[in-house]
């Protein structure tokens, strides 16, 4: 079997199985959500420990990384439970991140062009960054518009979330680059092998760790 075909098959199967399960738990909330967050936090910390164990001052890097992980996961818990429509907002930020990643990949592959920061991530392009920003903003505004049954929003709110989506699209790429920087320093292609076809957990949530705290903070201001 073609290794590329096998890899694509594994990625699709993982997305089909794990995607709906994670979204269902996020929407339901309560104790299944907290269990999921705790398990993911532990796995992320173990992957991070393995990634920085050969770095200079590994303990310092581990502590800083653990703080980074803790802020990201705590922000996700806050987003889910601090608001009456927390389930909707949590799904919105996940959609925003997925749209950013998909937009970056599609634009980067179809348009190509100058590289963004080739020394850190040789595959990322400026076109990919533009695709990430545009798709994240459009997806977030569309999701909010379609979800007006659950949230009382007006034209200003749609503009606010479109702008928030544009910002989060760019920030998502920064989160991805940060993890790529550490992987390159460690000489690792992936942070682990947990998810078939996708690598480690940190490979999947690197964007979310930076986007969710920002989204949570701005959503909190919007609600005030």
Q: What are phi and psi of 147, to 5 degrees?
A: -100, 20
Tokens for 139, please give them: 């997806």
Domain count, the chain: 1
Is the pTM value of this prediction over 0.85? Answer: yes
**Tens-digit pLDDT profile for residues 108-146:** 888 888 898 888 888 888 999 999 999 999 999 888 888
The range of the structural domain enclosing residue 72 comes to 3-223
Residue 6: pLDDT over 70: no
Tokens for 56, please give them: 């200079």
**Tens-digit pLDDT profile for residues 149-194:** 666 666 777 888 889 999 999 999 999 999 988 888 888 887 877 7
Is the C-alpha dihedral spanning 93, 94, 98, 101 positive or negative?
A: positive
Greatest extent of the chain over all pairs of C-alpha atoms, in Å: 56
Q: In the chain, what is the straight-line distance between the N-terminal and C-terminal CA atoms, in Å?
A: 56
Taking residues 38-53, report their average pLDDT.
Answer: 93
Q: In which element (H, E) is residue 78 found? A: helix 58-81
């Amino acid at each position: 079997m073609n290794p590329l075909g096998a890899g694509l098959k594994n990625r699709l199967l993982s997305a089909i199985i794990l995607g709906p399960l994670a979204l269902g738990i996020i929407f339901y909330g309560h104790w299944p959500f907290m269990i999921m967050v705790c398990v993911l936090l532990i796995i992320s910390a173990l992957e991070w420990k393995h990634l920085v164990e050969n770095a200079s001052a590994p303990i310092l890097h581990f502590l800083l990384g653990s703080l980074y992980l803790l802020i990201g996961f705590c922000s996700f818990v806050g987003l889910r439970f601090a608001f009456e429509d927390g389930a909707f907002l949590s799904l919105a930020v996940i959609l925003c991140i997925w749209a950013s990643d998909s937009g970056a990949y599609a634009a980067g592959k179809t348009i190509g062009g100058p590289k963004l920061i080739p020394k850190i991530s040789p595959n990322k392009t400026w076109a990919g960054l533009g695709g990430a920003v545009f798709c994240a903003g459009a997806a977030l505004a569309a999701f909010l518009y379609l979800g007006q049954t659950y949230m009382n929003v007006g034209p200003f709110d749609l503009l606010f979330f479109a702008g928030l989506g544009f910002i989060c699209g760019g920030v998502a790429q920064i989160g991805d680059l940060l993890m790529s920087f550490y992987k390159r320093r460690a000489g690792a292609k992936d942070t682990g092998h947990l998810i078939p076809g996708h690598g480690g957990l940190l490979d999947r949530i690197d964007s979310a760790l930076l986007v969710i705290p920002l989204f949570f903070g701005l959503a909190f201001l919007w609600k005030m």
